[in-house]
Amino acid sequence: MVNKVYKIGSQTMELQGSKHNQVLMSIVVCMPILAYGTAMGWISPHRELLIGPYAPSEYPASEEHISWMASIMFIFAPIAVFLFGAAADRFGRKNALLCCSIPVALGWTVKLLCAHPIALIGARALIGFGSGGAFVVCPLYVKEISEDSIRGMTGTFVIFSQTVGNLLVFILGDLLPFQTVLGILLAIPLVHFCILLRLPETPSYLIKCGKNEETARVLSWLRSLPQDDKRISEEVDRLIIEQTTSEPKFSPKLLFADKTAVKAFWVALIVNLVREFCGCIAVLVYASHIFREAGKDENTSIALSPNKQSILLAAVQIVGSFLACQLVDRVGRKPLLAVTSMLAGFSMCLLGVWFYLQSIGVYMPGWVPIVALCVSIFADASGLQPLPFVIMTEMFNFQLRGTVATLIMAISLGTDFALLKLFTPLTGWIGYHSTFWVFSVICLSNVFYLILCVPETKMRKLEDIYADLQGKKRKKEENVVESNHV
């Protein structure tokens, strides 16, 4: 058998090993999420062009078209979650991830060839389908190629790639022509596809297929160690044991047979849904439009253009994502999530107050909505977005983790569709101020829910977390108090 050589980074193997191949490969693997970030933010810098007199199509888009463009991605994404999850288990992580890039590339190709509103809606459906699959396969791929010591860092690449995609499309949309932007965005899934063809399957899946020798070769390259190194053989043995003792499979029946696991599922689901309904996704998709509405009156003029303000939001999002990587293992999941929920709640409330005062002729400075939106996006990126997924993975064992992640991801993407489809009609019905106040109430209510119902999961055994959910800890404390009285 001819040994494959996977060329990325240095080919020099040192006895102490290296993590650079794992890091570089994780970055490449997350490129479909980068493409998703560009697709999610694409409407913001191009909305006015699509509905204006100089639209790239002879049929300018309507507000209804824009709302469908924003939301259609999240109709097909939940379907893709189940299909690509099954494909990753049956055909391999690499093949499933290659297939994720195909509909994404087709979507950008359609946009490049035809700018009719209906064609753009169909194109975004294709992108949503591929992106939904990527959100299942990418974290799985990254987890299975990374050592324990860097798994937390490489795991954050998923969310970080999305925020980079947001910033990239905001900058490109502000500086370059419509067609040029589409050509650049089409290149992302094509480059990902071509590079991934040269990269290996994950060691865990290779072990599942009985390819122990190829597993050792892949691990040798990933860890930058000789193939006959003792650490490589030990890791192969560990993977074999994991596959034979607790192979994960999609089994809702197994999940709902355990009452405590069901309670943990509802806790994880609610925490994830709060992030969807906190308003931050709508802010990112409709950022330029919100800033344009905020700057309509001369008394509240803002120095930066709406697109440049959107770029500022995306930059703040990246800073928040980086901060989350630094803080999540230091302060704990629950405190950081509670603080960021509170920050998002107060900033959304302030934004609602600003729009309300503007509607009754009382004017506040133009920088107020910029600061409020920046704080809310910062809170989202540093806590509300990454931490629910971390909590979810830590509340379930290896066998149930895939089932829970698939179900919650499908439900979350479905709620994204509802939110983005209803955002424009909702603001027209109850006004921007009431819409942001609704978001504020959801965020602030989450603080109380976290304090009362959500256990801390940092560095805790699953048995201790489940004991908290069952109230056993409280009962023990009550028994101690009663015995002291006696």
Segment 197-217 mean pLDDT: 88
Read out DSSP for 207-225? HHTT-HHHHHHHHHHHHT-
pLDDT score, position 450: 92
Q: What is the mean pLDDT of the chain?
A: 82
Q: Which fold has domain 250-475?
A: Growth Hormone; Chain: A; (1.20.1250)
Q: Is the pLDDT of residue 318 over 80?
A: yes
Half-sphere exposure of 322 (CA within 13 A, CB side): 7
CB 198 within 8 A of CB 7: yes
CB 384 within 8 A of CB 337: yes
Segment 353-379 mean pLDDT: 84
User: SS3 string of 361-381?
Assistant: CCCCCCHHHHHHHHHHHHHHH
pLDDT band for 434, please (50, 70, 90 cuts).
very high
Q: Is the pLDDT of residue 2 over 70?
A: no
pLDDT score, position 383: 83
pLDDT band for 385, please (50, 70, 90 cuts).
confident
Query: pLDDT tens across 412-427, in order?
Result: 878 888 887 788 788 8
pLDDT score, position 347: 92
Segment 472-478 mean pLDDT: 48
Half-sphere exposure of 124 (CA within 13 A, CB side): 26
Please give the single-letter amino acid code of residue 16: Q
- Long-range contact pairs involving 460-463 (C-beta distance under 8 Å, separation at least 24): 460/394, 462/395, 462/396, 462/397
CA 269 to chain centre: 15
Q: Which two tokens stand for residue 53?
A: 């007199």
Q: Is the pLDDT of residue 474 over 50?
A: no
pTM of the model: 0.77
Please indicate whether residue 378 or residue 85 has the higher confidence score (pLDDT).
378
18-199 classified as CATH 1.20.1250.20: yes
> Other CB atoms closer than 10 Å to residue 57's CB: what's the count?
14
User: In sequence order, which ranges of 380-471 are alpha helices (DSSP H)?
Assistant: 387-394, 398-453, 462-470
User: What residues does CATH 1.20.1250.20 cover in the chain?
Assistant: 18-199, 250-475
CB 345 within 8 A of CB 440: yes
pLDDT score, position 177: 93
Query: pLDDT tens across 270-295, in order?
Result: 998 988 888 887 777 777 667 776 66
